[in-house]
Chains A and B, each alone.
Chain A
Amino acid sequence: MQVQLRIRRFNPEKDEKPWWGEYTLDNVNPNDSVLDLLHRVKWEIDGTLTLRRSCAHGVCGSDAMRINGANALACKTLVARLIKEGATQARIQVEPILGLPVVKDLVVDMEPFFEHYKSVKPYFINNSPPPENGRERLQSPEDRARYDDTTKCILCAACTTSCPSFWADGRYVGPAAIVQAHRFIFDSRDEGYAERLKVVGDTFGVWRCRTVFNCTNACPREIEVTKAIAEVKRALTTGKV
């Protein structure tokens, strides 16, 4: 099939403002991913097209983009999912994720995103000595299950950059950071919940969430992001984990 690929382009060394690049690709297989199409443009047509990618199968979090208006990983989005079955032609539009400064083409500055991430103390805090026998701390399978969903996060930023509250005010820590906080707050071995709740309970924490569910829809790991945020909100209100 044939795909008309429309890509939002911007090279700060050349362009005064962003523009749309139009590329016609023939012999596209519906099972090709959007990343495959972008690679074809970059390798065969225009080497200046710039994007991040690495694993190519949805586990590294490099290539979150706005594809036909919705955030997704380019490598996990197949053409087949964007077209009507049997279509021989399609238009696909790709833009950088919103709310973070564009560095070049589809590459955005991830630093603000990682700063929010780091602000929630995304690491295990336990100052009690580990078991004397030199072995693992124990945790029941039920306790382990409580934070299983939020351990899947690959920090792709698809959720945070689909959130209207984050677009409105970039100081909001955003869903991804809250997902990370959740992963530790609900870990029975962790002792840092008081410190973390302080951060996520702050003016730019969970209360900015308006339960729009964009984040949950955007998450390529199918994490129930909005639910995780709700659980953190509840922990704040009830003081109980």
Chain B
Amino acid sequence: MSSIKTHTFDAVIVGAGGAGLMAALYASKGAKVAVLSKLYPTRSHTGAAQGGISAALGNLEEDRWEWHAYDTVKGSDYLADQDAVDILCQEAIETVIELEHMGLPFDRLPNGKISQRRFGGHTNNETGKPVMRACHAADRTGHMILQTLYQQCIKNEVTFFDEFHVVDLIRVDNTVRGVIAIEIATGEFHIFHSKAVLFATGGWGRCWEVTSNAHSLTGDGAVVCLRRGIPLEDMEFFQFHPTGIYKLGILITEGVRGEGGVLLNDKGERFMERYAPTIKDLASRDVVSRAIYLEIKAGRGIGGKNYVHLDVTPETVNKYLAEAGETRRIDRAYIEAKLPDIADFTRTYLGVDPVKEPMPVQPTAHYAMGGIPTNVDGCVVIDANNTVLPGLYAAGEVACVSVHGANRLGTNSLVDLVVFGRRAGRHMAEYCQGADLLPLPEGAADEVVAEFERIRNNKGGVKPYELRKRMQHTMTENVGVFRTEETLSTALTELRELRQAYQDVEIDDKGKRFNTDLLEAWELGCLLEIAEVTAVSALARKESRGGHARDDFPKRNDEEWLKHTLCHKEGDSYRLDYKPVVIGRYQPKERVY
């Protein structure tokens, strides 16, 4: 395929969210780097993150990175690798300061320091009380991180290939030689020939019907690696946030329930009283998500549909406060002051004024704990012995270091992006200085070009949209907030059918330029594959841990399952393999909050 345009760089970074941009800033200090992104960098989903980024700065009260580490390990249900968690929490401090030095407009305290606030699961380990650890920039911390890192990349003249969609990794035995990308505007294939490649392509919430994730989060990077023989780690762990706006999945913060909001079913029952008699609506994310799911399954969703109400109207809240014998009461002004963003979202999207009416909510697929296995320098490791594949890197949500284990703590993803994005970028620059540019194999792009031509010209009559809908439905029903052997097997059967049907996908747009019909069809292939890997990994893990709740195995089982899953693709099937968890200071114990 001599007609394909070839570019040569030391390193190629795929993805321009928080992780990719941080890696780019560091890698470009010592290597010739190209950043490829299917979206304009500032469109990346890092910009949607609101809450904050944690670091034990101790700007308001005593805090230590060791406490942050313990909270993270406990939150992970002991599946996180504790050596990596130590690095995460230690380096969080200098990295957040570095972001400030890059100009990030954090909110400030009266003394001029970075403002911090409380967040779920972050505690003072001595008192057990919440600690103010989350640094924030209003309610748009992710937006500010994304903007600031992009600004710095412009300042440092990082080379971008915007709207280049990466579709394959060039791997020869145990070396990487670059990637294949489609220039979206022209539809032309390009080869990026390089010594090193880093994937920072984010998550895959679009496997499910309702998600807080962008349309573009289709797991491309993970699947491209999987197809080139890289295993995926801990794919059964996917976080569902209990309160997403019905159908839209847009997040509604836990703060609503913190202020006294309650979840109600079709009969107006405060159903959390049955599931968690003591702390009710403020039980942990997995417990609440599961309760909502069960109510819906039992036909008690609102009007029999698949949502419940989150009610924060003063009338309802005050009724329950009175019932509980509390003297506190709330009013409109209080809600407007405490929950302005939520009010804006629900007013814009639902025409619902949360002061007057309940908000329709359902669990929303939110965050991938699993992904491409890496070590603490972002180097991809390809087996249970953590053998490095030289030159291949991953960072951010697509990577699994693992610092989040079976359940991620709020604010810890943004920390992960910048801490491990930075380490990966640094390591990659060093690697490139010592490595040779290996020749491109003959016909490097042939396989993926043929696959695209197949999709473009296929005449099977199956609409991609129909398959995507069915996949999202079965993933929601069967690989959702809680699973059993039966649901997972059902999902696998259907996903295999869908994989078959995918061969008959027919698209309308046969052209070259800006052919999003074609690219979406290819992305659907990624989603289908990720879905299957998730279901396969989940079926095998016969225990409940963090985000993986098995109704038929409701307890955590450390004796057999304190280990990471590795899922390998072999031909048309998947092989599972396991690797030990790195335990440090914190021995696994029961997780009670």
Contact = CB atoms under 8 A, between A and B. Distances in A.
B152 interface: yes
Q: Across the A-B interface, give the 4 residue pairs with the lowest CB-CB distance, nearest first.
A: A124-B103, A138-B112, A47-B508, A43-B465
Q: Which secondary structure dominates chain B's binding surface? A: loop
A114 B153 CA distance: 14
A137 B101 contact: yes
Nearest to A144: B108
A122 interface: yes
A93 interface: no
A187 interface: yes
A152 B515 CA distance: 31
Given A50-B516, A147-B105, A154-B47, A122 B154 contact: yes
Interface in A125-160: 125-126, 130, 134-141, 143-144, 147-148, 151-152, 154-155
Interface in A21-67: 30-31, 33, 42-44, 46-48, 50-62
Contacts of B464: 43, 47
Interface in B146-168: 147-148, 151-152, 154-155
Contacts of B348: 58, 76, 78
A30 B464 CA distance: 26
Given A61-B42, A123-B103, A56 B215 contact: yes
A224 interface: no
Given A12-B513, A31-B349, A137-B100, A54 B43 contact: yes
Contacts of A55: 43, 45, 47-48, 214-215
A184 B424 CA distance: 30
Contacts of A143: 108
Given A118-B154, A123-B155, 11 more contacts: A12-B513, A31-B351, A50-B516, A51-B516, A55-B45, A78-B348, A110-B40, A123-B152, A124-B102, A126-B103, A130-B101
Nearest to A147: B105
A210 interface: no
B500 interface: no
A14 B511 CA distance: 9
B151 A122 contact: yes
Interface stretch (B137-145, B327-335, B474-482): B137-145
B358 to A, nearest CB: 15
B111 interface: yes
Give chain B's interface residue range (CB within 8 Å of chain A): 35 or more
Interface string A100-111: 000110010010
A11 B517 CA distance: 13
B349 A57 contact: yes
Nearest to B506: A47
A71 B109 CA distance: 37
Contacts of A140: 108, 110, 112
A190 interface: yes
B347 to A, nearest CB: 10
B513 A104 contact: yes
B512 interface: yes
Contacts of B152: 123-124
A6 interface: no
A16 interface: no
Interface in B324-371: 345, 348-351
Contacts of B40: 62, 110, 114, 155
Contacts of A144: 105, 107-108
A80 B352 CA distance: 12
A140 B144 CA distance: 18
A197 to B, nearest CB: 18
A61 B97 CA distance: 28
Contacts of A123: 103, 151-152, 154-155
A124 B98 CA distance: 13
Given A60-B45, A139-B108, A144-B105, A48 B517 contact: yes
Interface in A74-128: 76, 78, 80, 103-104, 107, 110, 114, 118, 121-126
